[in-house]
Structure 1
Amino acid sequence: MIRRFAVASVTLAVVLGCGTLPAAAAGSVPVADTLAAPDVDVTKVRGHLSELSAIAGRNGGNRRSTGQGYRDSVAYVKGRLQAAGYTVTEQPCTSGCTSGAGPNLIAEWPHGDAGNVYMFGAHLDSVSAGPGMNDNGSGSAALLENALTLARQNPSMRNRVRFAWWTDEEQGLNGSDFYVRSLSSTDRARIRAYYNFDMVASVNGGYFVNHITSSAAAPMKAYWDSLGLRPEENTEGAGRSDDYPFEQYGIPTSGYAMGASARKTSAQAAKWGGTAGSAYDPCYHRSCDTLTNINTTGLDRASDGIAYTLWQQAVQTGTSGCDTAAAVANGGFESGTSPWTGDTAAIGAHAGRSAHSGTRFARLAGYGATRTESLAQTVTVPAGCTRAALDYWLHIDTDESGSTPYDRFTVKADGTTLATLSNADAGSGYVQRSVDLTAYAGRQVTVTFTGSEDASLRTGFAVDDVTLQGG
């Protein structure tokens, strides 16, 4: 959080201790479908914090936006997201940012209605004085583990989810401001709400919700209400973090915070515990903002509240008539070759290659000679699906160089090409891909994967864990 605006006299408090969540207090607002949202593992969130701490330690003790510590933080987050199947973009901040500032990092889960986007963001940079574990390693780590949890759960999506880790916040909200300014008016209109997480583990903090009475804030408030926390408006943080540029363009915003340098009142200390008259975060913008400056209980509650909000806003909860669980048979290739047809010898546990999961996968092409191999399966897309997507994991490895597409991989539905990739898309591991089958709802469609090579230099296309997702 930056010092851009004067600090208000609103204060907070926190219940210190372990990460166990209390039962809902009598009279608290019940949370509908809480069990539908996952319990985000705070141990894993703390693991991401440890990585960010180590990065700062190797780079002069901080992760300032203009330094190598920030760039290494971007690389760590980006690597985890790409491995999980996200579409990840580094966005250089070419105007308005401090000279030499690193990029914004934008990650989109490639499912759900792209016309309805819910964004979740946190700034990834620290001040020069310290490693910034609470400010804002806490928000960044909570967001990362939520993104990874979404990928692991892989639920049917109603709306699109986009995550952002901002550069140069500490110098004036510059990264997020650049991002919003760079969007077209059409793209801004697609963002239904932006949620910000800045300092969500303050050791003497409390439970703040941005714009607590707004419709965007409703799921965030409802979750903390269900724990009996009685959250308050984030007055201290108003206009001081990365939600502000979104507000300036009329995009609804909310978010969680646990407080910075302002002090809490005795009334709030009585409600939440902690020390009245002391700052929410006594190490705010100081060198002592280390791993010992983290309130694990608050971090846990914020992480789970993010998940609850994400599930409420974007995950498909009403899938009646769209049961896609068994639509693709033997999608992981672990049970022989049936019902796949075509070049079924491509299916197996191939030496020198690994599966995405299990031991078997389909290896198309990869001979270094002219060759075409295909696998096909007829899939029934349920009539009740308003959205249907065929997801698959693909690993392309090649001996080719450059960006010329010599060897190609295609996905077809009833002979219509829906996706084409090539040796130019090769990477170091599996990447989850998706094609839209919504147009085939209510009928059968034959899906075909094809790998083809030219006369020289090998390119192999490994396919695994094929599923149909619907909503």
Structure 2
Amino acid sequence: MNLSVLRVPRRTAAVAALALAGLLAGAAPAATAAPGPAVLAAPDIPLANVKAHLTQLQSIATSNGGNRAHGRTGYRASIDYVKAKLDAAGYTTALQTFTSSGATGYNLIADWPGGDANQVLMAGSHLDSVTAGPGINDNGSGSAAVLETALAVSRAQFKPDKHLRFAWWGAEELGLVGSKYYVNNLPSAERSKVAGYLNFDMIGSPNPGYFVYDDDPTIEKTFKDYFAGLGIPTEIETEGDGRSDHAPFKNVGIPVGGLFSGADYTKTAAQAQKWGGTSGQAFDRCYHASCDTTANINDTALDRNSDAVAHAIWTLSAGGTTPPTGDVYENTADVAIPDNGAAVTSSVTVSGRTGNAPAALKVDVNIVHTYIGDLVVDLVAPDGSVYNLQNRTGGSADNIVKTFTVNASSEAANGAWKLRVQDKAAQDTGYINSFKLTF
């Protein structure tokens, strides 16, 4: 992230607390069936895969004078690494060259086949570091998350309604040079086709915050709603407002948005109470320094933000494709999970179908809980057969927002299906937020 221009005063962002008591009191299960087209949920982005990309970027920096800066061999090697991954995954890639400070710079543009060419959704991040260090949080973190999301699109053979384009920018640290060059050289007819641009610059800060750009309302809401579903409050991003690669897009009227986990501003006591971490310290004490290495990453923040990248891509690309057999049965009523208590259930009733359930039944689970290592989560078929989904794994992590796949081909499709959850240890609480089956 480039913060070389004068800072603007921080705005105060009011964040509403979750009022679980009111939500949980007396909620009666109420199932709804919605046959026909449905929005596909984004896949989980594996943290291990994102970190593997960061390890490669660190190795590149180490082998090239300790950095991946514009005009240096480490930057070109970084571009080559990302391009090779995308080429192998079926993307159409292009290197765009420009000149800055007497050196050749590169933008990498990758297009996923299909989608409406007149409605382009872009996601990008800058790939260059400063000369002082390898730039693993700034901005290997955003670059790796965008790369892994692009690879997830390929693995899923995703067929979104909008055309997807991913970008990795050069020379951001010199003043947004690469992204400015791209936008300024994009013909007006092509600019008008860009429905939105999502920017991800520093999303794994070691003392993280959860900041959302307050630009396009739809994009902003998409991110806020995602984090609210995890029980994580957000704040409006002001530390680097307009000082990353979304700015050139915004300046020509393209809707923009993005995420940020904080740079060299100091985390307040209120923010530490809300998000954890250490008050009185910078969100990233290694910002623009030699210590911005793979040790300078908060795994939880990187994992959550990477999943949010995918969620936004899947959601904002206008719904994706219809599941092959298409019928969705969902219960969105909140069900309180007693602390160290009896099992509770959320149920949906499937009717009007013939034959058995699918061999790849999709089970979408959204559980808000402060310690998922306490939880046993089962799918219970109409005949009482039990399919375990999660058995006290995940330790102190919070919330289960995941799609499970169950071979339910031996079960009759019609009947009452239940999500059963039991908390088997003391001190942590939560609730079932929603439960969905896709046939």
TM-score, length basis structure 2? 0.66
Q: Is the 8 A contact 1:212 1:221 kept in 2?
A: no
User: Secondary structure of 1:201's match?
Assistant: coil
**CA distance in 2 between partners of 1:258 and 1:169 (Å):** 18
User: Secondary structure of 1:192's match?
Assistant: strand
**CA distance in 2 between partners of 1:135 and 1:39 (Å):** 23
User: Secondary structure of 2:173's match?
Assistant: coil
Q: Is the 8 A contact 1:116 1:190 kept in 2?
A: yes
User: Secondary structure of 1:101's match?
Assistant: strand
User: Looking at CA atoms only, which structure, 1 or 2, has the larger radius of gyration?
Assistant: 1
Q: Is the 8 A contact 1:34 1:308 kept in 2?
A: no
Q: Which residue of 2 aligns with 1:220?
A: 223
Q: Is the 8 A contact 1:49 1:138 kept in 2?
A: yes
**CA distance in 2 between partners of 1:315 and 1:40 (Å):** 20
Q: Does 1:3 align with 2:6?
A: no
Q: Deviations over 1:81-109 (max 9, x none)?
A: 00000000000014xx3321321000010
User: Secondary structure of 1:121's match?
Assistant: strand
Matches within 5 A, 1:308-387: 308-314=311-317, 316-317=319-320, 319=322
Question: Match for 2:204 among 201, 206, 215?
Answer: 201
| Displacement after TM superposition at 1:221 (Å) | 1.5
2:297 aligned partner, one-letter code? I
Q: Deviations over 1:360-395 (max 9, x none)?
A: xxxxxxxxxxxxxxxxxxxxxxxxxxxxxxxxxxxx
Q: Does 1:268 align with 2:291?
A: no
**CA distance in 1 between partners of 2:183 and 2:7 (Å):** 25
| Displacement after TM superposition at 1:229 (Å) | 1.2
Q: Is the 8 A contact 1:212 1:232 kept in 2?
A: no
Q: Does 1:175 align with 2:178?
A: yes
**CA distance in 1 between partners of 2:223 and 2:196 (Å):** 12
| Displacement after TM superposition at 1:277 (Å) | 1.6
User: Secondary structure of 2:283's match?
Assistant: coil
Matches within 5 A, 1:281-296: 281-296=284-299
**CA distance in 2 between partners of 1:321 and 1:281 (Å):** 45
176-185 or 272-281, which deviates more? 272-281
User: Secondary structure of 2:165's match?
Assistant: strand
Q: Which residue of 2 aligns with 1:136?
A: 139
Question: Match for 1:151 among 126, 129, 154?
Answer: 154
Matches within 5 A, 1:381-400: none
2:308 aligned partner, one-letter code? G
Q: Deviations over 1:246-299 (max 9, x none)?
A: 111011110010010111211111111111121110000000000100011001
What are structure 1's unaligned runs of at least 5 residues? 13-23, 324-471
Q: Deviations over 1:183-234 (max 9, x none)?
A: 0111111111100000000011200011167122221111111111111111
Question: Match for 2:258 among 255, 258, 261?
Answer: 255
2:305 aligned partner, one-letter code? A
Q: Which residue of 2 aligns with 1:52?
A: 57
Q: Deviations over 1:102-146 (max 9, x none)?
A: 210000101110110011000000000000000000000001000
Q: Is the 8 A contact 1:10 1:236 kept in 2?
A: yes
Q: Which residue of 2 aligns with 1:39?
A: 44
Q: Deviations over 1:124-182 (max 9, x none)?
A: 00000000000000000001000001000012221111000000000000000000000
Q: Does 1:93 align with 2:95?
A: no
**CA distance in 1 between partners of 2:207 and 2:179 (Å):** 28
1:277 aligned partner, one-letter code? G
Q: Is the 8 A contact 1:10 1:264 kept in 2?
A: no
**CA distance in 1 between partners of 2:273 and 2:94 (Å):** 45
Name segments (4+ residues, structure 1) moved above 6 Å. Answer: 320-323
Question: Match for 1:66 among 67, 71, 77?
Answer: 71
What are structure 2's unaligned runs of at least 5 residues? 13-17, 24-37, 327-439
Q: Which residue of 2 aligns with 1:163?
A: 166
**CA distance in 2 between partners of 1:230 and 1:191 (Å):** 30
Change (3 A) 1:11 1:283: farther
Q: Is the 8 A contact 2:3 2:240 kept in 1?
A: no
Q: Which residue of 2 aligns with 1:336?
A: none
Identity, % of aligned pairs?
49
Q: Is the 8 A contact 1:212 1:218 kept in 2?
A: no
**CA distance in 2 between partners of 1:220 and 1:25 (Å):** 20
Q: Deviations over 1:13-33 (max 9, x none)?
A: xxxxxxxxxxx98389xxxx8
Q: Is the 8 A contact 1:11 1:268 kept in 2?
A: no
Change (3 A) 1:297 1:185: same
| Displacement after TM superposition at 1:9 (Å) | 5.7
Q: Which residue of 2 aligns with 1:403?
A: none
**CA distance in 2 between partners of 1:87 and 1:321 (Å):** 27
**CA distance in 2 between partners of 1:119 and 1:213 (Å):** 14
TM-score, length basis structure 1? 0.62
CA RMSD of aligned residues (A): 2.3
Q: Is the 8 A contact 1:2 1:240 kept in 2?
A: yes
Q: Which residue of 2 aligns with 1:339?
A: none
Q: Is the 8 A contact 2:206 2:284 kept in 1?
A: yes
2:206 aligned partner, one-letter code? V
265-274 or 209-218, which deviates more? 209-218
User: Secondary structure of 2:109's match?
Assistant: strand
